[in-house]
Amino acid sequence: MALLKIARMGHPVLLQRAEPVEDPGAPEVRRLVADMVETMLDAPGIGLAGSQVHVPLRLFVFHLPSDRNDGTSLPPMAVINPTCEVVGDEQTLRWEGCLSIPGLRAAVPRSVRIRYSGVDCDGQPVGGEVDGLHANVVQHEYDHLDGILYPMRVTDFRHFGFNEEMSRFPPGPVQEAAS
Ligand code: NI
pLDDT at res. 170: 74
Distance of CA 8 from the midpoint of ligand 1 (Å): 10
Question: 19 - beta bridge partners?
Answer: 57
pLDDT at res. 39: 98
Distance of CA 90 from the midpoint of ligand 1 (Å): 22
Distance of CA 98 from the midpoint of ligand 1 (Å): 4
Determine the Cα–Cα distance for residues 178 and 140; give it in Å rounded to an integer: 9
- Single-letter code of the amino acid located at 70: D
Alpha-carbon Rg of the chain, whole angstroms? 15
Distance of CA 51 from the midpoint of ligand 1 (Å): 10
Q: How many CA atoms lie within 13 A of 139 on its CB side?
A: 30
The Cβ of residue 103 has, within 10 Å, a number of other Cβ atoms equal to 10
Distance of CA 50 from the midpoint of ligand 1 (Å): 10
> How large is the average pLDDT for residues 34-59?
98
The pLDDT tens digits of the residues spanning 54-63 come to 999 999 999 9
Active site (annotated) includes residue 28: no
pLDDT at res. 47: 98
Catalytic position from the list 141, 164, 165, 176: 141
Give the residue with greater pLDDT, 120 vs 70: 120
pLDDT at res. 174: 65
Most confident residue range from 67-76, 112-121, 170-179: 112-121
pTM of the model: 0.94
Domain 12-168 matching CATH 3.30.2040.10: the answer reads: no
Question: In the chain, where are the structural domains located?
Answer: 12-168
Distance of CA 148 from the midpoint of ligand 1 (Å): 9
